[in-house]
Each structure stands twice: as structure tokens, then as C-alpha cells.
């Protein structure tokens, strides 16, 4: 358990970190108005968010049923479905799929794989692993933790990013424009995509009626990571389940909109391995895309959280990260105020669910209780109320 004095020490250090402060403040100038502009231009997203909340509430009441449906339906599209109760089970499944021989693995950004410490585990097993989201690649190089749900390197200045990229052989320099830096990363990663043995992704949503996953991206790395390697492993936490493909698309649109990146450049649906039926309509699996598709549904404390009268509501979260940008504490130190994976208002509660409630309760003591997180949340999650519960929890343990 991380205690309040250690948390405060990290926060004070972050406040004195000029590089972090510079990167964070530059990013916030762009991040804060982004979702406001999107919702003003496409107001139907607000109504859609209300609809998505109602569907998700009902889905959580029947989660066991939907988990069974997904695994059955993934098998019906020639994929393989799994359920992992905890990290140990998830890692065991992934190790069996990847195999023992050294593999080149390309990864798409995924918070659930951060929970699993999957990249670190695979490297320890002897595999070569590259994060392919630029922000997450910077996190991998710096051995830091993601600082935002969708923009993990939000705290890094341009100068620091260049320095890190040069360390792994990306041909960039401080004099380059943003565009040329990105071009350098593109050239560096392209060879990894082509030669990768395994592609690993998360999933923004999973549709129970088909076992299909939906992924949102702007860089294009997710499509390359999930299509070019011969094996695709998708790992999704169980609260990402929606009953139908139609529902799943609605949630994906809401997430993209409230993240301020709308319309998303890419919205990718994956339903099994690549296939063709161009010869006598006989379906053959494994064409230009992966020959194997594996979907792992990960619990990681969610089933227990459903039974808690306060924590259950956080499972409605679609991880758009809007509450983080609106929080006055997060704006100063980003996910430094958080657990090992998640930070900010949503991160405190996710820490209670996925790590331990004692650490989350200590983190909750920093919260000002202003309530801005609830006001901007597309799911209207009552985070101030949940955080008050965590503060009450710690006061009872002291007494």
C-alpha cells in the first residue's frame, strides 16, 4: 500500500520537475478545449452518451451471460475465446499462444495490458516487444507509466521525446519539425510491423452478439499491429462488453468524441482471423491478415467491484480521460497522482478496483471534491461520491 506521505513526496517532486510541467502545460492548452469543440459541433454525441450509459448499466447486471456469449461467438468465427480471472491466468494464456521461441511482438496501446505488466513480462521471457503508439513507445523507452488514458506521454516535452527516440535508434534531431519527428518514428516502426510474429491489442469495445472487437485509433498503428502479424491477440477487460455491434459502435463514437478526437481517423472492427470466400464461396481462414485470432476477457477485480455499492459505477467508465483534463489536481501532476496504472479522478477509483482499495483511499485524500469530474463525464459517474466513500473507508481503518 502506498501511503499519503509517499504520495505527497511524489507530487512535490512532480511540481518541481520543469520538464514535466512544461510538457503538461503545453498539452493542456490543446487538450482542454478539444472535447468542448467536438460536443458543440456534434451535439448528438451527448444524447448518444446517455443511451450508452443505460445500455452499459443493463449489461453489467448480466455480465456472466455476456461473457459466455462472447466466448461462444468468437469460436463461431474461427477465433479462440478465453476468460481470465486474474493476472496469473491471463499471462498463462498469453504465454501459451505466443510460445517459448523468441518472437518479435508489436503492441497497440492498451490500459489493460498495463494492468498486466504484459510488455515487461514478455521482454523478461526473451521476446522483442515494441509499443507502436508513439506516446506509448515514449513511455516504454522512458520506463515511465502512462499519464493519460488516451495520451500516455502527455507530460513529455518535444525536447525530451526527441532525446528518448534517439536512444533507440530513431533518426530524429532537436532541429526537426513535429512532422519530421513523426516521419522518423514511422520509418523506424515500419520494419517492425512487417516482420512481427505476433500483434497484441486491447479493445475499446467488445460486442457480445458476435465476439467482434472495435478499436479506435488515429495513428494507423492499431490496424498494422492487428493485421500484418500472423497472430492477433486482443485483451479486453470485461466491462468493455456491449450486447451488440450496434451498441458497440455507439460507445466507440462517444469515447472518441469525449476524448476530443472526433471523428476518429480509424474505427476498426475485428471479427476473427482474415478470410476469403472468393472460390465457390468456400470460406478459407488466413489470407493477408492474421491466421489466428485470440480474444481474452480479463476480470482483474471487476466482478468484485460490481458487488460494491459505490465502486460498481466506475465500471461504466469508457476511459475517454475527460475527467482527468478537467481536474485541478491532475492538471498539475498528471498520473503522478495515481496508482501504478491509472491516475486522476477516474484513476483513484480504478486503482481501488484493479490494485487495492487501501492505496486508492490514500490517494483520495488529495481530492478537492470540486465535482468537475462528474460534470464532464459522459457516463455521469458520481466520482466525487465514490471518492468520499474511499475517504470514509480510510477514516474507519484509522479508528
- Lowest pLDDT segment from 135-149, 233-247, 327-341: 135-149
pLDDT digits (tens, 9 = 90+) for 217-245: 999 999 999 999 999 999 999 999 999 99
SS3 236: strand
Question: pTM for the full model?
Answer: 0.94
Edge-to-edge strand list for the sheet holding 205-207: 241-242, 205-207, 212-217, 266-270
Place of cell 466513500: 389
Question: Does the pLDDT at position 286 exceed 80?
Answer: yes
User: Would you state the cell numbers that stand for residue 14, as one nine-digit string?
Assistant: 512532480
User: Would you state the cell numbers that stand for residue 289, as one nine-digit string?
Assistant: 491478415
Straight-line distance from the first to the last Cα atom of the chain, in angstroms, rounded to the nearest whole number: 18
For residue 395, what pLDDT is reported? 75
For residue 4, what pLDDT is reported? 87
For residue 345, what pLDDT is reported? 96
What is the distance between the alpha carbons of residues 184 and 201, in angstroms, rounded to a whole number? 23
Q: Which strand (E) or helix (H) includes residue 150?
A: none
Place of cell 512487417: 194
Mean pLDDT of all residues in 247-257: 97
pLDDT > 90 fraction of the chain, expressed in percent and rounded: 88
Edge-to-edge strand list for the sheet holding 292-298: 80-84, 292-298, 231-237, 198-201, 104-107, 128-131
Confidence band of 13 (pLDDT split at 50, 70, 90): very high
Place of cell 522512458: 142
For residue 398, what pLDDT is reported? 61
What is the distance between the alpha carbons of residues 151 and 135, in angstroms, rounded to a whole number? 6
User: Would you state the cell numbers that stand for residue 309, as one nine-digit string?
Assistant: 455499492
For residue 2, what pLDDT is reported? 75
Q: Which strand (E) or helix (H) includes residue 293?
A: strand 292-298
For residue 394, what pLDDT is reported? 80
Place of cell 461504466: 316
For residue 24, what pLDDT is reported? 87
Average pLDDT score over the chain: 94
Place of cell 484493479: 354
pLDDT digits (tens, 9 = 90+) for 72-88: 999 999 999 999 999 99
Confidence band of 248 (pLDDT split at 50, 70, 90): very high
- Say how many CA atoms lie within 13 Å of 184 toward its Cβ: 20
Question: Does the pLDDT at position 285 exceed 60?
Answer: yes
What is the distance between the alpha carbons of residues 145 and 313, in angstroms, rounded to a whole number? 25
CB-based contact 73:243 (threshold 8 Å):
no
What is the distance between the alpha carbons of residues 9 and 100, in angstroms, rounded to a whole number? 41
Backbone angles phi, psi at 132, to 5 degrees: -110, -15
Mean pLDDT of all residues in 103-108: 98
CB-based contact 266:216 (threshold 8 Å):
yes
pLDDT > 70 fraction of the chain, expressed in percent and rounded: 99
What is the distance between the alpha carbons of residues 135 and 382, in angstroms, rounded to a whole number? 29
DSSP class of residue 104?
A: E
For residue 399, what pLDDT is reported? 55
pLDDT digits (tens, 9 = 90+) for 25-76: 888 888 889 999 999 999 999 999 999 999 999 999 999 999 999 999 999 9
182-205 residues labelled b (16+ CB within 10 A) or e (exposed)? eebbeebbeebbeebbbbbbbbbb
Amino acid at each position: 500500500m502506498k501511503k499519503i506521505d509517499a504520495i505527497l513526496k511524489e507530487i512535490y517532486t512532480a511540481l518541481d520537475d520543469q520538464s514535466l510541467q512544461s510538457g503538461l502545460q503545453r498539452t493542456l492548452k490543446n487538450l482542454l478545449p478539444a472535447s468542448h469543440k467536438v460536443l458543440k459541433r456534434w451535439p448528438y454525441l451527448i444524447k448518444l452518451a446517455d443511451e450508452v450509459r443505460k445500455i452499459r448499466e443493463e449489461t453489467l447486471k448480466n455480465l456472466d451471460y455476456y461473457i459466455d456469449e462472447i466466448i461462444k461467438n468468437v469460436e463461431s468465427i474461427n477465433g479462440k475465446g478465453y476468460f481470465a480471472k486474474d493476472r496469473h491466468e491471463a499471462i498463462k494464456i498469453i504465454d501459451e499462444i505466443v510460445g517459448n521461441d523468441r518472437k518479435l511482438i508489436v503492441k497497440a496501446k492498451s490500459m489493460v495490458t498495463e494492468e498486466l505488466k504484459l510488455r515487461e513480462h514478455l521482454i523478461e521471457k526473451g521476446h522483442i516487444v515494441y509499443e507502436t503508439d508513439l506516446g506509448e513507445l515514449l513511455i516504454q523507452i522512458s520506463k515511465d507509466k502512462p499519464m493519460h488514458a488516451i495520451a500516455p506521454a502527455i507530460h513529455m516535452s518535444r525536447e525530451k521525446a526527441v532525446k528518448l527516440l534517439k536512444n533507440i535508434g530513431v533518426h530524429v534531431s532537436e532541429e526537426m519539425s513535429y512532422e519530421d519527428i513523426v516521419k522518423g518514428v514511422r520509418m523506424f516502426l515500419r520494419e517492425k510491423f512487417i516482420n512481427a510474429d505476433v500483434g497484441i491489442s486491447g479493445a475499446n469495445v467488445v460486442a457480445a452478439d458476435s465476439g467482434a472487437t472495435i478499436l479506435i485509433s488515429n495513428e494507423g498503428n492499431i490496424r498494422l499491429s492487428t493485421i500484418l502479424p500472423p497472430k492477433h491477440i486482443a485483451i479486453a477487460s470485461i466491462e468493455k462488453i456491449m450486447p451488440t455491434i450496434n451498441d458497440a459502435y455507439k460507445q466507440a463514437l462517444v469515447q472518441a468524441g469525449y476524448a476530443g478526437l472526433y471523428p476518429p481517423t480509424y474505427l476498426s472492427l475485428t471479427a476473427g482471423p482474415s478470410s476469403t470466400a472468393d472460390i465457390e464461396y468456400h470460406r478459407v481462414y488466413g489470407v493477408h491478415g492474421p491466421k489466428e485470432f485470440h480474444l481474452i476477457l480479463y476480470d482483474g477485480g471487476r466482478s468484485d467491484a460490481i458487488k460494491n455499492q459505490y465502486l460498481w459505477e466506475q465500471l461504466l467508465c469508457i476511459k475517454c480521460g475527460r475527467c482527468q483534463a478537467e481536474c485541478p489536481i491532475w492538471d498539475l501532476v498528471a498520473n503522478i497522482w495515481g496508482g501504478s496504472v491509472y491516475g486522476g479522478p477516474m484513476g483513484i477509483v480504478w486503482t481501488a478496483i484493479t490494485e487495492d482499495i487501501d492505496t486508492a483511499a490514500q490517494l483520495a485524500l488529495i481530492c478537492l471534491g470540486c465535482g468537475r469530474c462528474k460534470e464532464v463525464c459522459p457516463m455521469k459517474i458520481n466520482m466525487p461520491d465514490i471518492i468520499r466513500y474511499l475517504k470514509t473507508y480510510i477514516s474507519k481503518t484509522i479508528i
